[in-house]
Amino acid sequence: MEDDGHEVLISTERMKDALDLLDRFHQLSFADIRDIITVGVNNQKEKRMLFRAIDYALSLGIKFPHQIDALESRIRADISDSFQTIERPGGITAVGSMVFDRARGEMTWKVLQDGPHILASNFREGQLGWVSGNLGTGKTATGCSIIEQWIDMGNRALSNIKTATEDSYCYVRDARAMLLEVADVLDDPLPDNWLMVFDELYVSGWSKAEASTRKNKDLDGVARVIRKLGGNLIVIDQREASVPTTIQELATSRYYCHRVGGGVLTVDLRGPYRYFKTKIEDFPLTNLEFETKDFAFFPTTEVVDFEGLYQALAKVEPSGFSKAIRAFLRG
């Protein structure tokens, strides 16, 4: 290969390294990325800003880059999908171009190298997601995998899927139980990020008209309240088209289960913390023990007027949310 081609090859390999590193962003400590963080960053001011952000985080005792809001998206913005290298020594200009396909088609989990928390990596505060797929394809198991990863990240999880292990996550039988549990979380001096995984098997017999009216309205109210309280919501539904409008429009994480028995799913992460889409083969099944035939009926408006609760929450500051929840349920 000629010299200018060699220059392009070096640049191409560095760009690959940078993108591969970002694909494992949630696994990394600062020690892993300090030598490569400026790859693709041509603006010296931008480069200095990135290092200052890291130095400041380290001074606060933060150990992982994903804990800094918007750091990953800022780095990705500095690495263009197509790039050029110019101004070789000696005045010769070499131009190279490469387009990176982040979808990557089908992947085997064993070689994905995206870390154990890929399913839960797009939830922080107020995010929505859904899991869909045909009967028996592993929707509930995928929901439990997300719970497992979420808890492993140091957060709290709630679900109407009954757990066989008391200490794994909080099993809630109805909307009142969920809201009271959330109020307890909010009362903690250092409240954790929290997530509700809502399996909707109980509505599988509804007509299409019911799915587009009553269910849509009910769950839209649930989603609005959970986001208002700073939580995250994942809905599991066999029929993708019957997922409530609010969740379809605002979901940042979508999971499609393909194979009966589980293990094959499409992961579609749309931000704000990750952008990633691929079909993954041999995804490991959850280690959580859950009762496959025991799901709380979990009616919504028959127990709680979520629209009324949302209006009540809108009148108070976030510090008063837990008190407002309990007062609303008593009233």
Query: DSSP letter at 277?
Result: E
Is residue 53 located within the same domain as residue 139? Answer: no
C-beta separation of 79 from 39 below 8 A: yes
Is residue 74 located within the same domain as residue 110? Answer: no
149 belongs to a structural domain: yes
98 belongs to a structural domain: no
Is residue 73 located within the same domain as residue 111? Answer: no
Among 78, 93, 121, give the residue marking a domain's end: 78
The residue ranking higher by pLDDT, 312 or 280, is 312
Percent of residues, the chain, with pLDDT higher than 70: 63
Question: Pairing mode, if any, of strands 265-270 and 275-281?
Answer: antiparallel
Q: In the chain, where do the E strands start and end?
A: 106-108, 128-133, 156-159, 161-163, 170-171, 194-199, 232-236, 253-257, 265-270, 275-281, 290-295
Is residue 129 located within the same domain as residue 242? Answer: yes
Total number of domains constituting the chain: 2
Is residue 127 located within the same domain as residue 23? Answer: no
Beta bridge partners of 198: 235
16 belongs to a structural domain: yes
Q: What confidence tens digit (pLDDT) does each residue in 102-144 have?
A: 334 456 766 565 567 889 989 999 999 999 998 889 999 999 9
The answer for residues whose C-beta is within 8 angstroms of residue 304's C-beta and 6 or more apart is 175, 176, 179, 329
Select from 129, 127, 123, 189 the least CA-distant residue to 153. Answer: 123
Q: What confidence tens digit (pLDDT) does each residue in 278-305 have?
A: 888 888 888 888 876 555 556 555 578 8
24 belongs to a structural domain: yes
Is residue 44 located within the same domain as residue 120? Answer: no
C-beta separation of 175 from 300 below 8 A: yes
Is residue 70 located within the same domain as residue 121? Answer: no
Domain range enclosing 68: 3-78
**CATH number assigned to the domain comprising residue 138:** 3.40.50.300
204 belongs to a structural domain: yes
84 belongs to a structural domain: no
Q: State if pTM tops 0.85.
A: no
> What is the C-alpha separation between 92 and 331, in angstroms, rounded?
78
pLDDT class for 99, splitting at 50, 70, 90?
very low
Is residue 142 located within the same domain as residue 239? Answer: yes
